[in-house]
Amino acid sequence: MKFKKKILCIGAGYVGGPTMAMIAYKCPEYKVNVVDINPERISEWNSGKLPIYEPGLDEIVKAARGRNLFFNTDIEKGIKEADIIFVSVNTPTKKYGAGAGMAADLQYWEKTARQILECSESPKIIVEKSTLPVKTALAMERILTSTDNGIHFEVLSNPEFLAEGTAVKDLENPDRVLIGSSQTEEGLKARDELIEIYENWVPKERIITTNVWSSELSKLVANAFLAQRISSINAISELCEKTDADITEVSKAVGLDSRIGSKFLNASVGFGGSCFQKDILNLVYLCRHYGLDQVADYWEGVVKINDYQKDRFVLNMLKAMFNTLAGKKVCLFGFAFKANTGDTRESPAITVSRKLIEEKAELRITDPEALNNARNDLKDIKGKISFIEDPYEAASGSHAIAIMTEWDLYSELDYEKIFQSMNKPAFIFDGRNIADHNKLFEIGFNVYGVGRPPLTHF
């Protein structure tokens, strides 16, 4: 089949895979090739069991794969034949050298830029899909124009706003698609080519255009604002615990103000995921770089409160369980950083597990999708940890349950049966406030939520 245009995506991860699957699904006249340096990941994308769990993803991949969606490891060939290249490689927090623990590690991204330059034989549009510090497109452009090969590369910014667990829904029906371009004739032409792709399914008015720098910065700011809401409500949750107020009621009352809005006001054990912390730290680093220390301190507070919330969760467990966890069995319900994903990157469950092990507790971890990742996250820990698929089996014989992930499953279990199988007094620490606390208390549990008075039998 003759395709209208050839798209390449470098990086077949949580963003590259689903976004390209959606483009291929919605635009059969484009050939979409997804490449990665990781051959196992690619073979999983070509198999019956995809490398990531996302509701609805299997269906769209199956519909497009082999038709106009292809996964492979031949990056060189992919670059040569592509008209449009999306760069969707990982940009984690730097762990070494200048900016360690704060700045974005751009090594994967820069390698990609150099490889594009090396392998290109024709003009290309390069689309930044990865989340990058503002002004990164300039660095990309400098690398791409560092030789006099006469090939024109036009760099666009098109950040991704999907959330894991709802990726397919978010991609199919995005609040907005943001495209940043330079305001030159070539920049605007490239921008229009990208708009043409999205217009296949996204209403025109939701496709917004800006200059490149606004687009890059908007992505960091959107994540910072979302995370800030969670840290704000989590900060208030501690005050609720001291004052007999209930965070769920406060959050409802506050969120009904249409200027504030009700979303993202669920108090929790803390936010996780590969991006919130990384992107805020990156924002903080940028502010410090420009000498904006007060601004940097303000945003850094969001991450500090999040760390504090995770620490506080474990300290509350310790205090409630008579100041010792040594030798006690604690069952973690959920390990993924949120429901409907197997992703455990920066999951609060990792921090909580490590702290519980420091207290010499014995861990029994259960999760419907994330057990393999959990094993990997905790593989360096010396301590008693078991990974058990069945939540009833995991809870049996435990002294306490800690709900780490808001999987629906955990609000629907037979807690009467679970209570019977546990050591007494039985404790439940609901890090997501998803269970029916009054009912659990009636069953006999001592119940501790986030931001509400505990319900105890002593």
Which amino acids are annotated catalytic?
275
Could you say whether residue 430 binds ligand UGA (CB under 6 A)? no
Q: In whole angstroms, what is the distance from residue 164 CA to residue 238 CA? A: 28
DSSP designation for 291: T
Contacts with ligand NAD in 394-433 (CB under 6 A)?
Answer: none
Helix, strand and coil content of the chain, in percent to the nearest 5, comes to 45, 15, 40
- Nearest Cα residue to 421 out of 402, 444, 437: 444
DSSP designation for 132: -
Cβ atoms 154, 127 nearer than 8 A: no
Cβ count near 289 (within 10 Å): 13
Could you say whether residue 162 binds ligand NAD (CB under 6 A)? yes
Could you say whether residue 174 binds ligand NAD (CB under 6 A)? no
CB of 98 to ligand NAD, least distance (A): 20
Please give the C-alpha separations between residue 446 and each of 13, 55, 400, 410, in angstroms, as whole numbers: 41, 34, 9, 17
Query: By CB under 6 A, which span of 24-32, 190-198, 264-272, 438-446 interacts with ligand UGA?
Result: 264-272
Give the residue ranges of DSSP H helices in 334-414: 348-358, 371-377, 391-395
CB of 4 to ligand NAD, least distance (A): 25
The entry of ligand UGA, ligand NAD, none that residue 90 binds, CB within 5 to 8 Å by partner kind: ligand NAD
Map residues 213-252 to x or -, x wherever contact with ligand UGA holds by CB under 6 A: ----------x--x---x----------------------
Could you say whether residue 333 binds ligand UGA (CB under 6 A)? no
Could you say whether residue 105 binds ligand NAD (CB under 6 A)? no
Q: In whole angstroms, what is the distance from residue 452 CA to residue 435 CA? A: 13
Among 51, 187, 272, 431, binds ligand UGA (CB under 6 A): 272
Could you say whether residue 110 binds ligand NAD (CB under 6 A)? no
CB of 320 to ligand NAD, least distance (A): 34
Of the two residues 251 and 396, which places its CB atom closer to ligand UGA in the complex?
A: 251
The entry of ligand NAD, ligand UGA, none that residue 334 binds, CB within 5 to 8 Å by partner kind: none
Cβ atoms 21, 54 nearer than 8 A: no
Among 6, 26, 124, 338, binds ligand UGA (CB under 6 A): 338
Q: In whole angstroms, what is the distance from residue 391 CA to residue 409 CA? A: 9
Cβ atoms 78, 84 nearer than 8 A: no
Report the relative pairing of strands 207-211 and 329-333 from DSSP bridges: unpaired
Strands (DSSP E) contained in 148-302 are 153-157, 177-181, 207-211
CB of 161 to ligand UGA, least distance (A): 4
Indicate the residue type of 324: T
Strands (DSSP E) contained in 28-83 are 30-35, 69-72
Contacts with ligand NAD in 113-142 (CB under 6 A)?
Answer: 130-131
CB of 425 to ligand UGA, least distance (A): 28
Indicate the residue type of 433: N
Among 16, 187, 348, 451, binds ligand NAD (CB under 6 A): 16
Could you say whether residue 10 binds ligand NAD (CB under 6 A)? yes
Q: Can you give the length of the chain in residues?
A: 458
Contacts with ligand UGA in 115-134 (CB under 6 A)?
Answer: 131
Of the two residues 40 and 148, which places its CB atom closer to ligand NAD in the complex?
A: 40
Contacts with ligand NAD in 66-95 (CB under 6 A)?
Answer: 75, 88-91
Query: By CB under 6 A, which span of 106-114, 174-182, 235-243, 380-388 interacts with ligand NAD?
Result: 106-114
Cβ atoms 400, 331 nearer than 8 A: yes
**CB within 8 Å of 115: residues ≥ 6 apart:** 10, 75, 76, 79
Among 46, 56, 108, 444, binds ligand NAD (CB under 6 A): 108
**CB within 8 Å of 289: residues ≥ 6 apart:** none
CB of 320 to ligand UGA, least distance (A): 21
Among 275, 361, 394, 422, binds ligand UGA (CB under 6 A): 275
The sign of the torsion formed by the CA atoms of 239, 439, 415, 435 equals negative
Cβ atoms 48, 157 nearer than 8 A: no
**Which chain residues interact with ligand UGA by CB under 6 A?**
131, 160-164, 223, 226, 230, 264-266, 268, 271-273, 275-276, 337-338
The binding site for ligand NAD (CB under 6 A) comprises: 10-16, 35-38, 41, 75, 88-91, 108, 111-112, 130-131, 160, 162, 164, 274-275
